Structure 1
Amino acid sequence: MNKPTTTNHRRWLLMLAAFLFGATYPLAYAPFEHAVVAILAMAGFFNLLKMASSWRQAAATGFAFGFGQFTVGISWVHVSIDSFGGLPLAISLLLMSLLCAYLALFPALTGWLWYRLNNPRWRAFNLLLLPSLWLFGEILRGELLTGFPWLALGYSQTSSWLFAFAPFIGVMGIGWLVACLAVMLSYVTTKRNLYWLTPAFAAVALATYWANLQTVSQPTDKFAQVALVQGNIKQSLKWEPDQQWPTMSKYQDMSRPYYDHDLLIWPEAAIPAIEIQAQSYLQNLDATLAWKGSALVTGIIDYQPYSQVFFNNLIVVGRRDPELDKSSYIYGHNNRYSKHHLLPIGEFVPFGDILRPLAPLFNLPMSSFSRGGYVQHNLEANGWKLAPAICYEILFAEQVRQNVQQDTDFILTVSNDAWFGDSIGPHQHLQIAQMRAKELARPVLRATNNGVTAVIDADGSIMAKAPQFTEAVLTAEVAQHRGQTFFARVGHVPVLALSGLIILIAVWRRWRYK
């Protein structure tokens, strides 16, 4: 008579343990960067999956792990909802819980598939199965409903030796490798597995040592003097009409001492005016910078009255080419970038006619954008070529990869993380930019409204960064790099093909067994 009660207790204990493993998982990411925690948390998750007695229990274990992972790891989202959503605390917490529950469905899918496809007798094959299924879940999470690939497993290793694999297998490949190490660690607890695990650990160690010895790009003898301007404008004031001119004047005043630099960078939507209405300001700035021999890249909103569409843009003013002693800016010129990946709710509202009347959260300023092309021309500023990514577009490794050409000098990412206050979000955002630099062997220039503004070298290390929540101009001398990484040529195709093959073999063996 006590068996159902015991079974229920066991189920809830498994879910609690999975939630706790998931809640510790974000300690592997910035600002904590305890990379080994990701391996330990995934090893704990795998051990719990092995204890599941049904597919329902395996799926529930995956859901609990994911719910803990995202409740802690993206807690910064609630800062934005609570501060700017205009909703009661209970409702904002409910929305946050629903978001985390949705994201937890992907680890739940991983747990369910693993239970259905694994066989305890295939230990060596299981070493590859869970990483492949985890990668499959991350791919779905990064694509469905515009995608949200935040906290991908590979980002946890920017402070470890495994970071050296980024130019070869990218963030997804590193995540796959971390999951493999977690499964291997789980199997180490059984002594008889050491015979086949020892060479596996040795192979990973040797490959890691080799990767850390490789030089994937070379600096040339050309350097750019860059100045990244962090205006520290309060989000609550940014779009107030009476703050428009003070904000524009502030950015210009902060930049004036640096007009002798090759490049000046202002953050996302730094100019809080519609481009067509700011022509006098932009033309004066353009003429001044061209005369000084400099160029500025700035974020600005473009509204096209004939088509009645908005774009979140980056434009270049000043010199396009250092050899041409004249300004280059005219409204509508092609030396601009329009954001492709739009943020749901923040930049476009699904079912807007229904949701917008419900709460201020669904009617934020500038939340009706159209998207630009997936691949666009590099920006040209004072002879330098920049591959842009606005805000969370820097998460999308394939999009950034396809926009970085062999003659691209720098990756440029601009953002406005003022939405997220003093949270872990901006630090994770910077960590993601480090991965793009390492994958593609190009320096990253990252300008934000209130931090973290930084310059990242081609090896993924942070060259310089400005303190958060301050008015600051970050200057650096950044080397041009040449050379194309293996990841830049083929992307994630090898690891995706390997994972797909492993899953197909598991499906075939399951079907044959049945």
Structure 2
Amino acid sequence: MRGEPRRRRQLRTAGRQPVLRWSEAPPLPPHRCWGSRAFQVVGYRLPVLLRCFTAVGGGLALAAAFEPVGLAWLMPPAVAVLVLAVRDLPLRRAWVVSLLFGVAFCFAVMVWMRAVGTDAWIAMCSVEAAFFVPLGLGLALAVRHRWWPLWTALWWVAIETWRGDWPFSGMPFGRLAYATADTVWAPALPWVGMTGVSLLVALSGTTLAWLVVAGRRRPVAAVAGLAALAVVIAGPWVWRYSTDTDGELTVAAVQGDVPGSGTDVAAVHRGVTANHVAATEELARAVRAGERPAPDLVVWPENSTAVDPFRDSEINAAVQRAVDAVGVPILVGAMVDAPRETQVLNQGIVWRPGAGGGDRYTKRHPVPYGEYIPFRGSLFPSDYGKLRMIPRDMVRGTRLEPLRAAGTRVADAICFDVAYDDGIADQLQRGGELITVQTSNAMFINTGQIDQQFEISRLRAIEGGRWVVVAAINGVSGIIAPDGEVVASAAPRTQEVLVETVGLSSQVTPASRAGVWTGRLIVLLVLAHAVSCVAASRRERRHGTLSPPGSARVERTAAVQ
């Protein structure tokens, strides 16, 4: 009789449901086949199949968050779908589910690569989707440990950073941050940069996953967790970053258009140059007539001359004629011969009245298998299909100093450079007062790539606290304010000159000061977390304390019975 109250207390304690906190690992469900041959061979057949379909849907939903669809609110639910899909799965199954998510996402968000060729689209997207294998393994590990919503978000950003840097400079398109223009996350860009904003978006999704797992059991904690996340996201709205203006500059962005179909610059490159010369001369005429304000600087797009203007006398004379007509420097986008005959430089050249070429910026991130062939002449393919159209390899630039033009320091980016964190940040750290983006997206003119890249330019304006001038060869050109507002733009496949007076600033935002280091630190942190998880698992196995998923709950249920 004396032991009866104690036994009742034990039964009540054993029968209680555990209270799950945000910092605790979610309990994994029991499975009656654990340890049996049926479980090892067949596994969670139906649940895994459903998870696979759910993961594919989540990947497609995440792709719809990006332009041209632009449903940014889908990002947190899509992240939550992947976290919940791999939760409680063994590692040997988690990576499969995550890979399917990645395949659906990458092939959908970068479907514009089909403009290059279906083979190029399949090859590139297959490589990008492969990064979701380690992501799935990392998420499956992270959800088993304390503070799992934070760790799963960090895993997402670490893999995203890795994917954007490797191999061959990586492919950063599809970063969560690149869909955040006009969202609640955008004001955080000057403070934490693209990597930090991706982390906030991922954390929103992983917190949503936590609410699905534990929200009904702890409504008060759920409300508190949501409130804390809201404070973190809303903070930049309250304490908005503002930059001081050091002066003003009137800038003209020339969109000359591409003759014919508009997609093949190389075939009509002299016509392209002639279009930009004519548009600039028309601007000079309008300025003399008092119809348009006089610019201090004119920006031409990438590939406004597809041959070396220093060696081709016809192109040299045409460019100089345009510069002398408008009477101010033109930032010309040109393909310049490298010292080696098998190489070429993609440059932005400050062309001055009466003086010719001055400062040059060389594209930092040429596109592999688009602008150069990695390991040409080795076992890797270099003479297959459309690769024959790349006779010379584009050499990567190393310049960190901003260009000097019209008494202003200009941070330049050429095409895909705008999607990387290093080039613009390095130039802003060294005094860049204005950002220019020279781009030739003619091949992608009828695809979503145009809209995706322009959105990235808007985000760079917010992140750097600078005006951004985008000159595209046939769309979309635009002039963007530091808050991301598009002040002026030119529609695709039109010939137009945009002229606006923009502000200059030499103030460096915290995001620009940090540059690429935020992402690198997160990668190191996640690597340390992975090592600690593996070490902990080995210790448990060595001491015989490792339990299969759900075993603790099975034992508790048995004790109650």
TM-score by length of 2: 0.80
Deviation (angstroms), 1:261:
1.7
Q: CA deviation at 1:33?
A: 2.2
Question: Partners in 2 of 1:416 and 1:230 — Cα distance?
Answer: 11
Q: Secondary structure at the match of 1:394?
A: helix
CA distance, structure 1, for counterparts of residue 338 and residue 314 of structure 2? 18
- Cα distance in 2 for partners of 1:288, 1:154 equals 39
Aligned equivalent of 1:19: 56
Q: 1:441 aligns with which of 465, 480, 489?
A: 465
CA separation of 1:70 and 1:248: change in aligned 2, threshold 3 A? same
Taking the TM superposition and a 5 Å limit, the aligned residue runs for 1:159-308 are 159-189=182-212, 190=214, 191-213=216-238, 214-233=240-259, 234=261, 237-240=264-267, 243-259=268-284, 260-279=294-313, 281-283=315-317, 285-286=319-320, 289-290=323-324, 292-304=326-338
Report deviation, 1:510: 5.0
Q: Which runs of 4+ in 1 moved over 6 A?
A: 1-6
2:263 & 2:280 partners in 1: Cα distance?
A: 23
Q: Which of 55, 63, 68 is the matching residue for 1:31?
A: 68
User: How many pairs does the alignment contain?
Assistant: 485
CA contact (8 A) 1:230 1:451 kept: no
Partner of 1:89: none
| Aligned CA distance change for structure 1 residues 225 and 312 (closer, same or farther; 3 Å) | closer
Corresponding residue of 1:105: 130
> Which structure shows the bigger proportion of residues in helix conformation?
1
Q: Please list, as runs of the form range in 1=range in 2, the aligned pairs for 1:10-409 lying within 5 A after superposition.
A: 10-52=47-89, 54-81=90-117, 92=118, 94-119=119-144, 122=146, 125-146=147-168, 147-189=170-212, 190=214, 191-213=216-238, 214-233=240-259, 234=261, 237-240=264-267, 243-259=268-284, 260-279=294-313, 281-283=315-317, 285-286=319-320, 289-290=323-324, 292-304=326-338, 309-319=343-353, 327-330=354-357, 333=358, 335-353=359-377, 355-359=381-385, 361-365=386-390, 367-373=392-398, 375-405=399-429, 407-409=431-433
Superposition deviation, residue 107 in structure 1: 1.7
8 Å CA contact 1:414–1:447 kept in 2: the answer is yes
Percent identity over the alignment is 20
Report the CA distance between 1:494 and its aligned residue. 4.8
Per-residue CA deviations over 1:6-61 (Å, capped at 9, x if unaligned) read 84343332212101110111221122222110111111111111142x21211011
The separation in 2 between residues aligned to 1:511 and 1:239, in whole angstroms, is 55
Partner Cα separation in structure 1 for residue 50 and residue 486 of structure 2: 42
SS of equivalent residue, structure 1 residue 512: helix
What amino acid maps onto 1:230 in structure 2? G
Give the Cα separation in 2 of the matches to 1:167 and 1:187: 29
Q: 1:422 aligns with which of 432, 446, 468?
A: 446
Q: Tell whether the 8 Å contact from 2:342 to 2:392 is kept in structure 1 after alignment.
A: no
Between the aligned partners of 1:306 and 1:398, the Cα distance in structure 2 is 27
Say if 1:26 and 1:72, in contact at 8 Å, map to a contact too.
yes
Tell me if the contact between 1:438 and 1:458 (Cα under 8 Å) persists in the aligned partners. Answer: yes
Q: C-alpha deviations, 1:413-433, integer Å up to 9, x for none?
A: 111111113111110011111
Residues 196, 237 of structure 1: alpha-carbon distance in 2 compared, 3 angstrom cutoff? closer
CA contact (8 A) 2:343 2:394 kept: yes
Measure how far apart 1:109 and its partner are.
Answer: 0.6
Write out per-residue CA displacement over residues 445-479 of structure 1, whole angstroms, 9 at most, x where no aligned residue: 11111211111111222221111122222222222
Partner of 2:481: 457
Do the aligned partners of 1:132 and 1:502 also contact (CA within 8 Å) in 2? Answer: yes
More displaced 10-residue stretch of structure 1: 145-154 or 11-20:
11-20
Bigger Cα Rg:
2
Structure 1, unpaired ranges of 5+ = 82-91, 320-326
Change (3 A) 1:304 1:66: closer
Q: CA deviation at 1:389?
A: 1.1
After superposing the two structures, state which structure 1 stretch, 6-15 or 441-450, moved more.
6-15
CA distance, structure 2, for counterparts of residue 365 and residue 145 of structure 1:
19
Which has the higher mean CA deviation after the structures are superposed, 179-188 or 271-280? 271-280
Distance in structure 2 (CA, Å) of the matches to 1:489 and 1:424: 31
Distance 2:366 2:319 in 1: 29
More displaced, 468-477 or 196-205? Answer: 196-205
Q: Distance in 2 between matches of 1:382 and 1:280?
A: 26
